[in-house]
Every structure is written in C-alpha cells, then in structure tokens.
C-alpha cells in the first residue's frame, strides 16, 4: 500500500500560500532586493563607475547582459549597486517622517485642546502646498543631494502619520484601560507611549509601506531632475535621466533601472496590502 506523501505534506504549506500569497510575494521581492544590495560587491560583474569608451552603447550581450551606457559603464552592475541607494531612500525617507509624525500625533491626540489645535494648524499649513512642489523648494534651498532629500521628506512627510495617530489616540484615550491607567496614577508619558500608542500604531505601520512607494518614486524623480543623487553614483533615477537622450537608439539604458523601480515599488505595495489584512487595517 503506497502513501501519497505530497498530499499529506503540502496542505499546511498550500493553506499558508493561499492565505498569505500577497505577503509571500511582497516579502520575497523585498528580500531579493535586500540580498542584491548586501551582495553587490560579490555579484556585480564590473565596477559601476568604470568608464570604457570602446564599449559605449553596447546592446545587451553575454559580456554585458543589460548592455552599456554612453560612457561604456555596465548597466547590470549599476542596477545592482543602485539597489543600495534606492533601498536606503525608501527606508530612511519613511523612517524620520514616521517617527516625527507618530510623536506629534500621539501628543496632539492625547492632550487635545490648545496643543491639538496648534499641531493641527501646522499640519493644515503644510497640506495647503502641493507635496512635490514643497519638497523640491526645500531641496533647492538646501542644495542638491541625498541629505537635502531626507530633510525635505522629514519636514513634509510627517503630517500623514500625525493625522493617523491623532485620530486613533482620540478614540483610545477614552477606552476603559486608558481610564484605568489614569486611575492607577500612571504618568502621562507611560500612558501615551506604553499603553495607547502600541494599540494605535498598526494603521501607521501599514501606511508606511505605501508611503515607501511614494518616497521611492519621489527619490527617483528628484534624482532624475538632478537634485538628488549626483553622478557618477549609480542610482536608478539618475540612470533613467542619463538614458533619456538615447531612448530610441539605446533603450536598455532606461529600461532596466526603470523596471527595477517598478518592481521594488510593487514589492512595498504588496507587503503593505498583506500587513493591512493581517492587522485588520482597511485603508
């Protein structure tokens, strides 16, 4: 009598994939790019900034699977090394707005009154300006570069997190466990950050995944305009900008970094949707 081992071994795995397919795909995409960034020195076939005039505008081939650009640099190597900068943009560009907005939203929602009114008027002022225009204005004042981009994102991007956390805090501060914590004489910082914030932060965590997509695209756009990462560093937005003059004759210069931006953004988006389902957050 034979036993079908595949039928007995696979149901749990199949149920996991069926229920968490979006999480698996999104996490897998991000893990792939993370490994690509970590292993860049080992797997990149060429120096990403080495120029070779004899190999200018070479189409994809065995020696250069993604072709070469107008300076003879290997596109595959530049895409691999560019993963480091673009992942850094997505993570740091979300981290500081998340921390600032969470802190402001927690304080405003918990205290209410004048404190809440003051912070929310600042939020209204920032929201009155178009996001990209305000961000580009700040970068233009500070000067081009990644540091300016991160400062601009921190000054502009925190408002969404502040509004999300504030809305949750206004609801949770009237809950039974919050009233009990006040009755027990717990300090306000302890009530805010230890008892209320952990229950209010789920929505912001989910939103941060979607925000990472916006930050990634904004970083690529800023670099494309020459205000972000400066040449000769390998960054996908810079690569797209460098290849725009050759789009009809050397399409590979813009195609592969452009596809990388789309794939990484897709991974963050899928992970955000999956976390929303798991945490019961509906956007």
pLDDT tens digits in sequence order for the chain, 283 residues long: 444 544 444 555 555 555 578 888 888 999 999 999 999 999 999 999 999 888 999 999 999 999 999 999 999 999 999 999 999 999 999 999 999 999 999 999 888 889 889 999 999 999 888 888 899 999 989 998 889 999 999 999 999 999 999 988 988 888 887 788 778 878 888 888 888 888 888 888 888 988 898 898 888 888 888 888 888 888 898 899 888 888 888 999 999 999 999 999 999 988 888 888 777 665 5
User: Looking at residue 82, what is its pLDDT?
Assistant: 93
User: Looking at residue 172, what is its pLDDT?
Assistant: 86
pLDDT in tens, 47-95: 999 998 889 999 999 999 999 999 999 999 999 999 999 999 999 999 9
pLDDT in tens, 159-171: 999 999 998 898 8
Alpha helices, H only, 112-175: 113-127, 131-142, 146-172
User: Looking at residue 7, what is its pLDDT?
Assistant: 47
Domains and CATH numbers, the chain: 18-47+64-279 (1.10.3720.10)
Burial of 273 (0-12, 13-18, 19+ CB in 10 A): middle
The DSSP 8-state label assigned to residue 68 in this structure reads B
Cα separation, 56 vs 96, whole angstroms: 40
Nearest to 261 by CA among 243, 222, 235, 242: 235
Q: Which residues are 68's β-sheet partners?
A: 74
Using alpha carbons, list the distances in angstroms from residue 194 to 100, 169, 252. 17, 13, 51
User: Looking at residue 266, what is its pLDDT?
Assistant: 92
Cα separation, 283 vs 273, whole angstroms: 9
């Amino acid at each position: 009598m034979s036993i079908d081992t595949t039928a007995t071994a696979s149901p749990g795995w199949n149920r996991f994939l069926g229920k968490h397919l979006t999480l698996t795909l999104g996490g897998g995409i991000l893990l792939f790019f993370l490994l690509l960034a970590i292993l860049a020195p080992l797997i990149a076939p060429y120096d990403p900034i080495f120029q070779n005039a004899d190999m200018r505008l070479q189409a994809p081939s065995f020696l250069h699977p993604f072709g070469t650009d107008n300076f003879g640099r290997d596109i595959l190597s530049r895409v691999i090394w560019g993963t480091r900068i673009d992942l850094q943009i997505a993570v740091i560009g979300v981290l500081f707005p998340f921390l600032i907005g969470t802190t402001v939203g927690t304080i405003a929602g918990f205290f209410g009154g004048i404190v809440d009114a003051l912070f929310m008027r600042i939020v209204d002022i920032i929201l009155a300006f178009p996001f990209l225009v305000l961000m580009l204005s700040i970068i233009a004042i500070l000067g081009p570069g990644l540091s300016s981009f991160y400062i601009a994102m921190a000054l502009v991007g925190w408002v969404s997190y502040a509004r999300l956390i504030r809305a949750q805090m206004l609801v949770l501060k009237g809950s039974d466990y919050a009233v009990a914590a006040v009755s027990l004489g717990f300090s306000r910082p302890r009530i805010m950050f230890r008892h209320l914030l952990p229950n209010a932060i789920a929505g912001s965590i989910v939103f941060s995944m979607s925000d990472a997509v916006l930050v990634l695209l904004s970083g690529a756009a800023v670099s494309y305009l020459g205000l972000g990462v400066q040449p000769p560093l390998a960054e996908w937005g810079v690569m797209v900008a460098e290849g725009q003059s050759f789009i009809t004759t050397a399409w590979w210069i813009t195609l592969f970094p452009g596809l990388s931006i789309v794939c990484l953004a897709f991974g963050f988006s899928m992970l955000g949707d999956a976390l929303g389902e798991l945490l019961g957050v509906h956007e």
